[in-house]
Structure 1
Amino acid sequence: MFYTKNSGMYILQVIMTWLIFVVIPNINSFGYSKKGQHLWPQKYKSCAGKLQSPIAISTSKAIPLSLPALEMIGYHDFLPMPQIFANNGQTIKLAMNKNVTYGRLPYIFGAIFKQNQQYEMEQLHFHWGIKNNRGAEHVLNGIRYPMEMHIVHRNIAYSNFSHALQHEDGVAVIAVFFQLQDEQNELLQSLVSKLPDVQWAHLELSVNISITLASLIPLNTDIYYIYKGSLTTPPCSEAVTWIIFATPVPISFRQMNTFRILSNGEEILGDNFRRLQDIGQRKIYIRRLVQSSLRVPSGLSIKQDDSRWNFSNLSWFWS
């Protein structure tokens, strides 16, 4: 078969289109309706576990600790490019391209993690509501914000994310709330402006978004809540240490509505948040900067030559 110069260019364009836009198989399909969430444990047994997320958090019931700061390395650098931007029918996800070799990705340590534990960024995604009075997964002091972002990290001691999910210290997720305001948040705009490109469900797009993780989190990260929980989507693996910043990030009504034009394949993509789970006997800790306000949990000790807690015997559950 012979090809003209023009036909060759056409074939090249078709190939390039397939390289950029990829249809995502809907392998892990699940629903967010009340009935749909009720059915999760039938296929994913961990979804009926006792350490499930999200939960309602109350400041008055959280245990204050003089925790170290959460160290976020690479958060002020632009994310390496290209990235993968996807609408998988359940959320919008920004992730690194597994077929590209990057330098060191952003990672976190400190806080309540053991010495030498580091967690490297895997991806980030969002949960939001159709209406302004819902959308976030966690509830803080009775408030459910209109959107919540999760920055998912893998413990680098484990070779891949699937392996990490098999261990109780495998995953760390930073949760960030978004609060509505009239003015546009310019720091979010480079990401928000790409949302129409993945309006339809089950599309992946290779992108070069100039954005830093620091631009997506609050300026004040001094106070955070921390507890042991799970993924909030199937398979609901109970391998997550949750770090939830107390201060929300602003987002304009117009930017919020850009999320609400997206499709899940059948209708508007939204209200993609899991119902609250029973906290059970779990403890929630809150980082406080004033030591005089602390209640000392049992099993903790203070080193004679160090003002920080020794967290090796920290209890995550009420006896």
Structure 2
Amino acid sequence: MATLVTLVSLLLLGFQAQVRSEWTYSEGQLDEEHWALHYPACGGTRQSPINLQRRKVHFNPALTPLELMGYEEGQAGQFPMTNNGHTVQITLPESMRLAGPEGTEHVAVQMHFHWGGDSFEVSGSEHTVDGVRRVMEIHVVHYNSKYESYDIAKDAPDGLAVLAAFVEMEEDAENTYYSSFISHLANIKYPGQSTMISGLPVLDMLPENHFEYYTYHGSLTTPPCTENVRWFVLQDSVKLSRAQVWKIENSLLTHDNKTLHNGYRSVQPLHDRVVEASFQFSRSLHSEIGSYLEGIQMSIRDLARALEQRREKRRV
């Protein structure tokens, strides 16, 4: 009898592990709406991403420029790059470090990307600014250097920090710093495939301006959605050509053998959190109206996306 109970328990654990590993953004039993059922933190009050409302952001003159240490050394290194079924992830060396405004040093772990690309949503950044979603978003994940490893830091209250940068599209302005990265995507078309990049100009793949940024306390944007992330979202953006954006959006497949599109989480409620900025800005009436209209357009696209998801579920 004890043997039977043990066997049943192992089968249940195996089933749970399988379910927990198959989370998705919009399709399947464990889509974004149901993450919190298996990952309780995903239903918390300090979730990411958020909408950065500039009129509500607090300017903090004490926020010093972010310091990226060892990033320029990456051009001579070896970088493993993997299709994990949700995005392309690049492993970074521990020599790359981020120093925040309080002087806390964080060790780099990996960088990955979020994009849109389906018929209803061209843009795919996770954070939005005044309701406007950008074309893509880069995340560089770090852990607090006071912990011995990422595995320890990932569960600590002050364990993680993410440097985020937006990507915008300029029609024919090819960004040569992305050439090697994009060319290697063909080697990781299927989930689980990995390749190696010899030399990757990580520093040049990010915006030059590290002085102006937003910061707030939030979470990982994918399960388990741990609420221990200090976010640094750069104000400036990276520019890629339309052809480069298209290549990134259409090179990888998911576990369901579909093109990896719309790999981003919806914006989450801010609740009582405060978003700070290291810079001040002024806005004209014209820019206010423009942002308002862009926000409406994004809402319409998101609504169309939600309706399409419901239709897909009904077909299933």
Q: Which has the larger radius of gyration?
A: 1
Query: Greater CA deviation, 181-190 or 223-232?
Result: 181-190
| One of 22, 30, 45 as aligned partner of 1:29 | 22
Amino acid at match of 1:126: F
Contact 1:121 / 1:154 at 8 angstroms: preserved in 2?
Answer: yes
Partner of 2:238: 249
Contact 1:124 / 1:152 at 8 angstroms: preserved in 2?
Answer: yes
Q: Which of structure 1's runs of 4+ aligned residues deviate more than 3 A?
A: none
Q: How does 1:127-206 map to 2 (within 5 A)?
A: 127-131=114-118, 133-182=122-171, 183-205=173-195
Amino acid at match of 1:185: N
> How big is each residue's C-alpha offset from its partner over 1:65-94, in whole Å with a ceiling of 9 and x where there is no partner?
111111111122225633211001011000
| One of 75, 78, 82 as aligned partner of 2:74 | 78
Q: What SS is found at the alignment partner of 2:64?
A: coil
In the alignment, the residues of structure 2 paired with residue 58 and residue 289 of structure 1 have an alpha-carbon distance, to the nearest angstrom, of: 13
Q: How does 1:1-319 map to 2 (within 5 A)?
A: 28-33=21-26, 36-66=31-61, 67-78=63-74, 81-96=77-92, 105-111=95-101, 113=102, 115=103, 117-131=104-118, 133-182=122-171, 183-205=173-195, 207-259=196-248, 260-266=250-256, 267-288=258-279
Structure-1-length-normalised TM-score: 0.76
Contact 2:64 / 2:211 at 8 angstroms: preserved in 1?
Answer: no
Pair 47,256 (structure 1): closer, same or farther in 2 beyond 3 Å: same
After TM superposition, give the deviation of residue 27 of structure 1 in Å. Answer: 6.9
In the alignment, the residues of structure 1 paired with residue 75 and residue 139 of structure 2 have an alpha-carbon distance, to the nearest angstrom, of: 16
In the alignment, the residues of structure 2 paired with residue 143 and residue 170 of structure 1 have an alpha-carbon distance, to the nearest angstrom, of: 30
Contact 1:133 / 1:145 at 8 angstroms: preserved in 2?
Answer: no
In the alignment, the residues of structure 2 paired with residue 105 and residue 76 of structure 1 have an alpha-carbon distance, to the nearest angstrom, of: 10
Amino acid at match of 1:86: T
Structure 2: gaps (5+ residues) = 1-17, 282-316
Contact 1:26 / 1:88 at 8 angstroms: preserved in 2?
Answer: no
After TM superposition, give the deviation of residue 208 of structure 1 in Å. Answer: 3.1
Q: What is the count of residue pairs matched by the alignment?
A: 256
> Percent of pairs identical after alignment?
29
Q: What SS is found at the alignment partner of 1:120?
A: strand
After TM superposition, give the deviation of residue 254 of structure 1 in Å. Answer: 0.9
More helix by share: 2
Partner of 1:298: none
In the alignment, the residues of structure 1 paired with residue 149 and residue 194 of structure 2 have an alpha-carbon distance, to the nearest angstrom, of: 21
